[in-house]
Chain A
Amino acid sequence: SAVISQKPSRDICQRGTSLTIQCQVDSQVTMMFWYRQQPGQSLTLIATANQGSEATYESGFVIDKFPISRPNLTFSTLTVSNMSPEDSSIYLCSVEDPGIGADLDEQFFGPGTRLTVL
């Protein structure tokens, strides 16, 4: 199974600033995903990041607000731009691992970044 680390683990930021979250995987993976989990809510996919191409954003999320980089097969960053208190959430990166079956891709999650915006 993939081992994923994220930095920072938590941060408290001021309104209007930006924060870049780093995600490092111990093996090469094709797809990396960024999720948001707000208190009491489900995991919401922000975008899918492929190496060498633009990230694909889900409805309600835009590149200007959540720019993503994917410079290689083991690393990705998510920036939360021009933050407001509504951006306070846990941000998780994940990768898929086809190891459990040809049609069943398990998602492995990083430990998450707990963001509080004041």
Chain B
Amino acid sequence: QKEVEQNSGPLSVPEGAIASLNCTYSDRGSQSFFWYRQYSGKSPELIMFIYSNGDKEDGRFTAQLNKASQYVSLLIRDSQPSDSATYLCAVNRGGSYIPTFGRGTSLIVHP
């Protein structure tokens, strides 16, 4: 079992819809969770982080964490074509500063 798993997609949603991206992790000692966005040909950039169970909202983005079920998700409301990118889930173990990345989910928002 891979440490951080994501569906590679592509996930295709219409403009204005909610895009839901999911990530599961295997290490119960994980404490910090990140979502990076990577446009084609560009480097990843951090868009959300979460470390407590529940929801965390930032603008159109909501990160959801459920440590008991070992999953973290990212919701993008009112999706825009500019949101089309690959979204990487990253997980840090407690005491580690080095994240483990999933392979990413490709999101396509079509007009």
Contacts and interface: CB of A to CB of B under 8 A. Distances in A.
A42 B101 contact: yes
Contacts, number: 45
A107 B43 contact: no
Contact of A103 (B42, B51, B99, B104): B51
Contact of A33 (B32, B98, B102, B103): B98
Contacts of A110: 43
A41 B98 contact: no
B104 A42 contact: yes
A111 B42 contact: yes
Given A40-B103, A41-B103, A104 B43 contact: no
B107 to A, nearest CB: 15
The range of chain A's interface size is: 20 to 34
A92 B32 CA distance: 22
B72 interface: no
B42 to A, nearest CB: 7
B92 to A, nearest CB: 8
Interface string B16-59: 00000000000000011010000000111110010100000000
B72 to A, nearest CB: 14
A42 B103 contact: yes
Contacts of A41: 103
A88 B31 CA distance: 33
Interface in A85-111: 92, 96, 100, 103-111
Interface of A: 31, 33, 40-45, 48, 92, 96, 100, 103-112
Contacts of A111: 42-43
B98 A42 contact: no
Nearest to B89: A42
Nearest to B96: A105
B88 A42 contact: yes
A43 B51 contact: no
Contacts of A105: 92, 97
B12 interface: no
A91 to B, nearest CB: 11
